[in-house]
Every structure is written in structure tokens, then in C-alpha cells.
Structure 1
Amino acid sequence: MADFESPAAQKLLHAFRQFKKTGWHEKKIAGYNPSEFKVLVTIKHGTDEKSDLKVSEISQKLHVTPPTVTQIINLLEKDGLVERSVDPEDRRAVKIKLTSKGIEVTEQARSAFNETFAGLIDYLGEDESEQLAQLLSKVHQYFNQLIHP
């Protein structure tokens, strides 16, 4: 096993700390925080596949609790991005769908998100981008094995 005091370990730890400090995963995307963006995209994908989604379906897809999704839906509804409707097959269930404004905002946010990663690929180049993707996948596997042995 590698020594935690080794130069490689210190360099890796420093890189992880720097990466976390950038807060890139917390930055707004086209004016919406990452959790709102994820809900919008999930609804968009869900309605592309079938009819409108229930809050429980959105929460399952995002691996978060229904109350968390409900809070986000409330904010998005207030901004006119989503609308609720009663499920005709189950009057107790509420379906969520994007409004036309919601579709437009989701596409703008997705475009901004894609531009960020396209910029990273331009910055690193194709080969280093591919290497980074492979290494990050291995990092994910390593930490996943630690958490779920």
C-alpha cells in the first residue's frame, strides 16, 4: 500500500483539495443551481420517454427523497418552468411536466453545461480528456469499493 506521506500521495491530496475549492459542481448553470438543473433535465428526459412524471419517479431517478424533489418543484413552478396536473388514472397522484418556458430554460442550461465540458476538452485536448475520463472512472470505482465492499 502507498505511503500517505509520499510525494505522490501529497500531490494527489493537494489536487483533490484544489478541485473541491473550485466549487465547479455547485455553480449555477444558466441561472439555476445544480439540483434544479438535474430536476429539469430529469423531467425533460422522462417526458421524452413517456408521459409526465410523478414526484416519486423523479426522486427515484435522482436518488433523493420525494420531499427534496417537492421543494425543488415548488421553486421551479414559482418560476413558471414546470406545472402540476392530477393524474387521470390515479387522482391522488400529481404529474409534473415542463412548461414551454421550462423547455427553453432546460435547453439553455444544457447548452451552457455542454459548452463548459467542450471548453475543458479544448483546454486539455482529446487525448488528455480521454485519460482524465478513464482515471476519474477508476477513482470512482476505488471509492465505490471502499463504501460498498
Structure 2
Amino acid sequence: MKKDPTAGYLVWRLATKWGALLDRTLAPFGLTQAQFSVLATLYGVTRAGGKPSQRELSDHTGLDPVFVSKLVRTLEGNGLLLRTADPADSRAVRLALTDRGADVIEAAGARVMTLQNQLAEPLGGRDSERTREFVATLTTLLDAPPPDLGRTP
């Protein structure tokens, strides 16, 4: 007897598929998914006129602050971003892309956008009603508070 797949299983499979495709897309740029997330977020915030702290970047990406700190050190070592002390807060570190970092994230971002467009094709393309509904559904699920795992059903 065949059972229909659950929503959780399908979300997991889609995330696994997307992650594998993203890994292959980012490999030529020497980036991991997490590094891409940090650089892309920094790029977007910088283009909007901001100069975020590591903590702000952590909040924006949803990544753990300690993990972001490790990622930032690696990206700085690779010449993709700069860390500077915040003159207004001795505990804060401000981040900025280097010219090389901006070039890398622009090129990698273009490849990721192509991949996203390809992923949306079965739904009618990036701007289709089905894609907008899919994004809205995913956003609803992601915005929902996490379940209380301490309780047993």
C-alpha cells in the first residue's frame, strides 16, 4: 500500500535538492551556502547604504552569531570583506565588502538567480501566480513559531 508523501518530507526533499544545486553553483566561486548568505546579505545591506555589524548580519541571515563570526573571519581571510571596530560601540564589529568581494558576490548572485529562475519554471516562472502562492506558503510556514518539542502528544 503506497502512502502519499507528507508535507515535511517534501519540504525536506526540496531543501536537499536546492542545497545540492546551490553547492554545485557556488563551488566555482569557492563559496559555501552559508558564506554566500553572509556575502549576499552584506551586499544588499551595503547597496542600501548600510554598514552592518556582525550581530546585525546574524539577525538578518538567521544564522547563529558565533557561526557568523567564524564565517566572517574566513571571508576576511579570503579577501572578500573587511571587519572594522565600531567607533560608537567597542563590542561591535562593522563589516564591508572588498572590491573583490563585491565582484565575487555579483557573479555568484547572478548564477544563483539563474538557478532560482530554473527552479520556478515548473510553476510557470519566477513571476507566475503559482510561484507567488508558493513563496507565500513557504513564508507562512517559516514565520510560524516553532513547535514546543518539550511536550509529548
TM-score band w.r.t. shorter chain: 0.7 to 0.9
- The residue aligned with 1:83 is 82
Deviation of 1:31 (Å): 3.2
Q: Is the Cα contact below 8 Å between 2:82 and 2:96 reproduced in 1?
A: yes
For residues 75 and 48 of structure 1, the distance between their equivalents in structure 2, rounded to whole angstroms, comes to 22
Residue identity matched to 1:89? A
Structure number with larger C-alpha Rg: 1
Please give the secondary structure, in 2, of the residue aligned with 1:93.
strand
Q: Which runs of 5+ in 1 are unaligned?
A: none
Residue identity matched to 1:64? L
Identity of aligned residues (%): 23
- The residue aligned with 2:140 is 141
CA RMSD, 1 decimal: 3.3
Q: How does 1:125-136 map to 2 (within 5 A)?
A: 125-126=124-125, 130-135=129-134
Deviations along 1:72-92, one digit per CA (max 9) or x if unpaired, are 001101110011112233344
Q: Is the Cα contact below 8 Å between 2:117 and 2:125 reproduced in 1?
A: no
For residues 106 and 37 of structure 1, the distance between their equivalents in structure 2, rounded to whole angstroms, comes to 7
Please give the secondary structure, in 2, of the residue aligned with 1:50.
coil
For residues 116 and 93 of structure 2, the distance between their equivalents in structure 1, rounded to whole angstroms, comes to 35
- Aligned with residue 25 of structure 1, among 13, 19, 27: 19
Deviation of 1:58 (Å): 0.6
CA distance 1:112–1:86, shift in 2 (3 Å) = same
For residues 74 and 101 of structure 1, the distance between their equivalents in structure 2, rounded to whole angstroms, comes to 16
CA distance 1:125–1:99, shift in 2 (3 Å) = same
- The residue aligned with 2:60 is 61
Residue identity matched to 1:108? A
- Is structure 2 residue 94 aligned with structure 1 residue 95? yes
**Number of residue-to-residue matches in the alignment:** 143
For residues 56 and 11 of structure 1, the distance between their equivalents in structure 2, rounded to whole angstroms, comes to 36
- The residue aligned with 1:49 is 48
Residue identity matched to 2:19? H
Q: Is the Cα contact below 8 Å between 2:53 and 2:92 reproduced in 1?
A: yes
Please give the secondary structure, in 2, of the residue aligned with 1:94.
strand
The worse-fitting range, judged by mean Cα deviation, of 95-104 and 53-62 is 53-62
